[in-house]
Amino acid sequence: MSVIKLVDLDLKGKRVFIRADLNVPVKDGKVTSDARITASMATINHCLKEGAKVMVTSHLGRPEEGNWTEENSLKPVADNIANRLGKPVRLIKDWVDGGFDVATGELVVLENCRINKGEKKNAEETAQKYAKLCDVFVMDAFGTAHRAEASTHGVAKYAPVACAGILLTEELEALTKALLSPARPMVAIVGGSKVSTKLTVLESLSEKVDQLVVGGGIANTFLKATGKNVGKSLCEDDLVPTAKTLMDKMAKRNASIPIAVDVVVGKRFDANEPAVLKDAGSVVDDEMIFDIGPRSAQELVDIIMKAGTVVWNGPVGVFEFDQFGAGTEKIARAIAETKAFTLAGGGDTIAAIQKYDIYNKVSYISTAGGAFLEFLEGKKLPAVEILEMRANESLRT
């Protein structure tokens, strides 16, 4: 990965424009989970310490273009950062055409970039206006690196210098380490409700990993492919042949997709639904599978403990309801204890990591969902590609 790194640049007195991922949940004007802000502070603090004039922007929620509303404002984010820095932070509302000054060593937050006309379509005119605001553009939002938008891609084309921030650099290095030269055996745990949304990831990983663990609704499609009844469980019947093909393909190279031998079922998706343990072969028509059973969980624990690399994306059961959370908890505890290099990413996965309090025991936690999956698929991320292009240009000049 050849990109210009922020830490290698002289920033003194420079106007620095950071695209961070500060898309955090907000309730009643307060940030309720600030993990993404925490992750972005390394880049912000570095720029301030180096004496730059610092601007940071992000998207928040799904605002309508050209329509500012209080619920999509970055004000709660600016307040959160101000508390961390111990000084006021200005929030600039109409910033695209400039007309504001930033002092050396000052940080300003530029209002939600997704409100700007031309942002989502990556309009040249919008990107050029962003680029005029800065001497250095810093891409630090790995979570949106898979989208080519004016603040993630277009601005990097036109800014005098375009580089990768500290968080983006760490993300790319951790993912590259896990995927390009992994310590073996390599295990991937992919959970989620649908095979269809993660089919390309499963196909790509099936060629790279020694064991591919499928969880959640995805696992039901694979269970059905082995001839088991899954009752009313979430299952994609049309993808049963695909599941069979993936299992056969991995078996041919002595790799495997472990299939549950016992499951935890209920009749309704409800917090008070009693959990019933069953052999995987004895699910009846009116039941739904909500978790893996203890024997299946133990098999996965043994796999994780022997692994050299573990990539985790998605829980293996409905862990939000405690009675259906044992499988995900067992996996989380094994990931915390294994000697393997562990890499976890995606919103539900981070929620499970927080619930079972293993945050400090995972080698690397990616703040991204979609970009994390696309990287696992081996896709080029547009925002990273443009940084590589700019780095190559600077080498030639």
* Active-site amino acid positions: 36, 194, 347, 370
Contacts of 122 (CB under 8 A, 6+ apart): 148, 149, 150, 153, 154
Rg (CA), the chain: 23
Nearest CA among 72, 111, 118 for reference residue 94: 111
- Give CA–CA dist 173/165, Å, rounded: 12
- Strand partners for 358: none
How distant, in Å, are the alpha carbons of 4, 26, 146 from that of 378? 21, 33, 12
Q: What share of the chain is helix, strand, coil (3-state, %, to 5)?
A: 45, 15, 40
Burial 186-217 (b: 16+ CB within 10 A, else e): bbbbbbbbebeebbebbebbbebbbbbbbbbb
- Which two three-digit tokens encode residue 371? 């970009």
Per DSSP, the residues of 16-39 read: EEEE------EETTEES--HHHHH
